Structures are given as structure tokens and as C-alpha cells.
Amino acid sequence: MPLTNTRSSYGGVTKAFHWLTALLILTALPLGWFANQLAHAIYDPSISTTEDDIARAAQLFSLHKTIGVTVFFVALARILWAVTQTKPGLLNAENKPEAFAAETVHWLLYGSLVLAPLSGWIHHAATDGFAPILWPLGQNLPLIPKSAFLADISASLHWLFVWALGVALVLHIAGALKHHVVDKDSTLRRMLPGQSDAPEPPAQHHSIVPAFAALAIWGAVLVGGWSTGVFDDQSKATEDTAELAQVQSEWEVEDGSLSITISQLGSPVSGEFADWTAAIAFEDPAEPGLAGSVDVTIAIGSLSLGTVTDQAMGADFFDSAQFPTAQFKADLFKTDAGYEARGPLTIRDKSIDVVLPFTLELADDAATMSGNLELNRMDFDVGTSQPTEDSLGFTVIVAVELTAERDNK
């Protein structure tokens, strides 16, 4: 069997690409489906799930993503190889409508083999969450930032392109079976391993029109997805996000961030609270001692935590429906080593005294502060259904940064 194509048959390299791609796709699609079904069950509060279920979902997603990345590179290599090769002619070229449909499906299939895994990879790179890609290239992509908006868009595109790929795959298989069973020609046999006995195809001209037809189909898929709400913003704060009232403060926060980092299946996942207030009273003393106070209120529902945001809002975790806010009321102290905020932190219905060390830079009536502390989620009854660190670590790192100006009114 020759390695290169001829006008009447496919070579060994093309056949290897074809069947390798088929094996990868027919593995990735069911893996993704089963992983999604298990993930929906995990997020459904009416269904009892265990740490083993979470670990199993992560494994399925990791395999799905890894095979998807492999499909992307195999598809690129396949397309580059096809460009250098003679394209065997269609055996039914005289049937113009059928030939046009066949070539359109081929363009749709080739493009979807690139677009579906690429959009999934972009979604993975743009968001934080568990289920890493089991691939030496790492989890990120050049020029792809961590962005909830980009993650939502790419996830929607991935879903649409997977459907386009699935439809193209079904049509491709149906066409091959039609040739083999109904027409009884050599279309399918010349792609099978070994030497084929395919006849010389009739004279024909390959038009670029089917490629534009495939582009029109992708456009229709995108428009259809948009019209049905597939691209609706999924990153908005949940409906039970508390609306925080404005606070009176000696120091007005001009800018800042309040973030947490957890460990999911050994990988760090970071998120940020979009809505929080801080009432600050502070006067820098000449000597170590009491320097003021702070009262921080946090809207739990404003947390964005990558792919596990919905899970974090659930009854077993933050339970944002019943406990919409967290609070930290502390006294501020100047110490020999720097500054500390000492007081009770209340999450859910648990209050525990904590110490937040922080650095402080003062310049006239402006202040810049940065600090972090480690918490144990079990102290606040967060994630009690996962009593070990097999899937979710105990340690939660809280980091806060802000700039504030003194209100001299």
C-alpha cells in the first residue's frame, strides 16, 4: 500500500490520519457527555454525591480535554498533509447535488475538527477550575487571559462547534454507508487498510463553493445559537447576591480586590468577590498599639470561582441563599513587625477570631494596604461532605489589597 494518495485511492498516511481521528473523536464525545452528566448530578442539591463522584468527574473531564487537544493537533497535521496530496476523485461526480453535499460535509468536518477542540482549550485556559489537561504543554494558552467573559463565550462556541462536528460526523458516516450498501461502490473500501481495488474516478473539477457553503453553515450555527440565548452572559452574580448598603468611613476605599485561593484535586483555583464594603477608622500611632478598626461586609454571591462557582454557592459550601454575607469586624494594631487586623470572621453561622497581618504605605491622606491569611474551611463548616483533602483542600488563602483616601469632610 503506497503512503501517498493517487487520483483513485488514498495512501497509508491519509488512512492512518482518518482512522486515528475517528478513534479520538468517538472517544472524546462520550467522555464529554458522561462527564457533563456527572457534573450536573454533583451540582444538583437533590442528588447525593461523594468525593469519589467528584474525582471521577474530574478524571473524565481531564481525559476529554486531553483527547480534545490531541484531536486539534492531529486535525492540523491531517489538513497540512491533505494540502500536499492529490485528492482522489469522487466516484459519483456525475451526481452533482450529492457530490456538492459530500464536499460541503468534508469542509464542515475538517473545520469543526479544529474549531471544536480549540474553543474548548480556550475555555479551559480562560477559566480557573479542576480537571487539568493531561498534556505537557500546560493549562494556559498564549494571549488568552483569565476572563469569565471569555470563558463563557468560548464555552458557548465549544458547545455549538461540537454539535456541528457531531452533525457532520453523522452525515459523513451516513454517506459512506450509503455508498457501500446502496451504491455498492468503492468509496468506503478505498479508505480501509490495505490495497483497494477502487476504479478510476470520472473526470471532475473540485470547486471552492462547498467551502463557502460550510462557512455559511457555521454562520447559521452561530446565529442560531445567539438567537436561542446560548451566548447569554453566564458570569453574572447569582440572583441571591446580597445588595450591600453604602457605609460611612473615615477612609474611603478607592480601589481594591478581595480574593480566595483553594486547592481542587491538587490544583490551585482562585476567585474574587466583586462586591464588598469596608468601614475603616485609622490613625497611625507613634508607638506599637491600637490604631483603629475595620468592619468588612462581603456579598458571598458576588464570588466568581471559575468552573466551581455554582458549587461554591451550594448548601454544603457557602450556602449563599441562607447566608448571603460574610463579615470581618476587627481592631487594627501597629506592631513591631508591621500591622495586624484582629477580630472575628463570620462565614455562614460560624465566627472565629483571626489575625490578618498586612503591609501599609501612607502618603499624606492616601494609604495602600496588602495582606493575606490562611483559613481552614472545615472551621466554618464549608464543604463538610468532603471531609478529606482528596478532592478539596482544607486550606483557603484569603488575599486583600486596597487603596484608600482619608475623608476630610
Domain of residue 281, CATH code: 2.40.128.110
Count of CB atoms situated within 10 Å of the CB of 247: 14
Domain of residue 101, CATH code: 1.20.950
On whether both 278 and 370 belong to a single domain, the answer is yes
Domain that holds residue 158: 12-227
On whether both 325 and 180 belong to a single domain, the answer is no
Q: Is the Cβ–Cβ distance between 354 and 364 less than 8 Å?
A: no
Q: What is the pLDDT of residue 58?
A: 85
On whether both 223 and 262 belong to a single domain, the answer is no
What separation in angstroms does the CA of 158 have from each of 24, 68, 311, 376?
A: 17, 11, 22, 36
User: At how many degrees (to 10) do helices 96-126 and 51-84 cross?
Assistant: 130
Q: Which residue matches cell numbers 453604602?
A: 246
On whether both 310 and 183 belong to a single domain, the answer is no
pLDDT mean for each 10 residues of the chain (409 residues)? 85 94 96 89 71 84 94 95 89 87 94 96 86 82 88 93 95 92 88 78 82 94 90 56 81 94 86 94 94 96 87 89 96 96 97 97 93 96 89 94 87
On whether both 107 and 163 belong to a single domain, the answer is yes
Q: Is the Cβ–Cβ distance between 68 and 117 less than 8 Å?
A: yes
On whether both 26 and 144 belong to a single domain, the answer is yes
Q: What is the pLDDT of residue 163?
A: 95
Of the residues 227, 262, 282, the one at which a domain ends: 227
Q: Which residues contact 139 (CB under 8 A, 6 or more apart)?
A: 124, 125, 132, 133
In a domain, 236, yes or no: no
Q: What is the pLDDT of residue 287?
A: 94
Q: Is the Cβ–Cβ distance between 259 and 405 less than 8 Å?
A: no
Number of domains in the chain: 2
Determine the Cα–Cα distance for residues 405 and 409; give it in Å rounded to an integer.
12
The SS3 assignment for 316 reads coil
Note the Cα 13 to chain centre separation in Å.
Answer: 34
Q: What is the pLDDT of residue 240?
A: 57
- Bridge partner residues of 293 (DSSP): 281, 331
